[in-house]
Amino acid sequence: MPREIEWSDAEEIGIQLQEKFPDLDPLTVRFTDLHKFVTELPDFVGDPMKSTEGLLEAIQMAWYEEYKDAQ
């Protein structure tokens, strides 16, 4: 059973976003869209109001690492 993820689980979120959007360069994603993508992940249980720019940046960078590895 997948574990629940929160805003602080940047690496896991990055992996899941890479699986969901394999052809999307994370560095082209606006934070408003990134927020939406994260909150729509099936295992995400975090409070949508608790995201910060720092958390979104960490998620974007984790996703970018996964994206680079997949290229």
Q: Where residue 49 sits, what CATH number does that domain have? A: 1.10.10.600
Q: Indicate whether 3 belongs to any domain.
A: no
Q: Indicate whether 2 belongs to any domain.
A: no
With CA atoms as reference, report the closest residue to 40 among 5, 11, 10, 9: 5
pLDDT exceeds 70 at position 1: no
Q: How many CA atoms lie within 13 A of 53 on its CB side?
A: 0
The encoded tokens of residue 8 equal 């602080």
38 is in which domain, residue-wise? 10-70
pLDDT digits (tens, 9 = 90+) for 14-62: 999 999 999 999 999 999 999 999 999 999 999 999 999 999 999 999 9
Q: Indicate whether 43 belongs to any domain.
A: yes
Report CA 66 to chain centroid distance, whole Å.
11
